[in-house]
Amino acid sequence: MDNNILQAFFDRKSIRKYKDTPLSKEQIERLVEVALISPSSRNGQPWHLTVLTNKDLIARWEKDIVQHFIDENEEWAVKHMESRNNKVFYDAPVAFVITMTEGSGIDVGIMVQSIAIAAKAMGLDSVILGFPRVTFLDKYEGKWQKELGIPEDHVYGVSIAVGYADEKGRDRDIDRSKVSYIL
């Protein structure tokens, strides 16, 4: 394939183990710029982007995420987390947290995809994360909203961990049975 952006789509995999190599300020800022120029409905830009590099904060957040599933007795999730050493952000050096005004899910979905593909095109890897959403439930009384400096009128959208892969990741197959053509 002769287009590096198209190739990034095919090469991108969800990576769940990262090297202990920080991203440069320039790399992080480039990903922020890509995120912020993502398309949104009527250019409403209903998002807020929080960039986390503080390992202690990430570890505390991870602990609350895991504890949520233990408290809720969600056995499948507890086993899933245990199989991954209770890692949610997988020791990635950067996590981007995208929050949104209510009802803007498609816009944050576009933004997270922009970050994922840009990261791959820059020689980085990523994993898109949904589990952190549980710490934005009422039982946390806004703890993580405050900790992460998220605007009060925003709800959790999605997170993405970015760094240098320390594993290959799983290959993905194209399943053409999920396509219909109407000609």
pLDDT band of residue 104 (cuts 50, 70, 90) is confident
Residue of 108, 91, 112 lying closest to 21 (CA atoms): 91
pLDDT band of residue 2 (cuts 50, 70, 90) is low
Beta-sheet pairing, 47-52 with 94-100:
antiparallel
Contacts of residue 94, defined as CB under 8 A and 6 or more positions apart, other chains included, come to 23, 28, 31, 51, 52, 53, 161, 162, 163
Mind listing the domains of the chain with CATH numbers?
Answer: 4-168 (3.40.109.10)
pLDDT band of residue 3 (cuts 50, 70, 90) is confident
Q: How confident is the model over 121-142, as a mean pLDDT?
A: 93
pTM above 0.85, yes or no: yes
Buried b (16+ CB within 10 A) or exposed e, 116-140: bbbbbbbebbbbebebbebbbeeee
3-state class (DSSP) for residue 45: coil
Q: Which two structure tokens, joined as six digits, stand for 137?
A: 């439930």
Could you tell me what percent of the chain has a pLDDT over 90? 83
What is the rounded CA–CA span in Å between residue 32 and residue 64?
26
Q: Would you give the end-to-end CA distance of the chain in angstroms?
A: 27
45 by Cβ neighbours in 10 Å (0-12 / 13-18 / 19+) ranks as: middle
